[in-house]
């Protein structure tokens, strides 16, 4: 990934995540985007970082989050159980955002359908799908909750 692509990815993340001051965020992110998110949620917000979906489950017994984002995490293209295990980490009106990038030979439609299918099979309801350039963001809500 080029530096320009990384910067565009962080800008896209901020646009879709909308991390307002005071928001609690779980960042599943092997990069450094979480530092930028922390600046936006401010001192009354909270950002926790896990480098993988597996490590995110360490928060399951003690914390809930308004937003969870997964940035370029391959597990969420194929692992339904890993995706399902994120639901208990969300607050009642929490949002899960899976942000990924179409690679060589892929198009954004394929990426969005792959991620959406995994999330739907995991019990999430797909609320929206946004695209910018080669980036895709899928917004999902836990299926047991009312979102209107």
* pLDDT tens digit sequence for 23-36: 999 999 877 788 99
Contact between 93 and 145 (Cβ < 8 Å): yes
Give the separation between CA 1 and CA 101, rounded to whole angstroms.
Answer: 10
pLDDT band per the 50, 70, 90 thresholds, residue 64 = very high
pTM: 0.89
So what's the pLDDT on residue 21? Answer: 95
* pLDDT tens digit sequence for 70-106: 998 888 999 999 999 999 999 999 999 999 999 899 9
Q: Where are the domains of the chain?
A: 3-142
Give the separation between CA 12 and CA 132, rounded to whole angstroms.
Answer: 7
Look at the domain 3-142 and name its fold: Rossmann fold (3.40.50)
């Amino acid at each position: 990934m080029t530096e320009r692509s990384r910067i565009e990815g962080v800008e896209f993340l901020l646009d879709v995540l909308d991390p307002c001051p005071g928001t609690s965020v779980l960042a599943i992110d092997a990069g450094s985007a979480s530092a930028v998110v922390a600046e936006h949620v401010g001192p009354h917000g909270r950002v926790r970082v896990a480098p993988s979906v597996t490590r995110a489950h360490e928060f399951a017994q003690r914390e809930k989050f308004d937003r969870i984002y997964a940035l370029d995490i391959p597990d969420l293209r194929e692992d339904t159980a890993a995706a399902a295990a994120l639901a208990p980490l969300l607050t009642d009106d929490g949002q899960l955002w899976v942000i990924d990038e179409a690679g060589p030979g892929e198009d954004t439609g394929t990426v969005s359908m792959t991620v959406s299918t995994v999330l739907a099979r995991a019990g999430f309801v797909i609320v929206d799908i946004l695209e910018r350039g080669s980036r895709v963001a899928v917004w999902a809500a836990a299926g047991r909750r009312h979102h209107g």
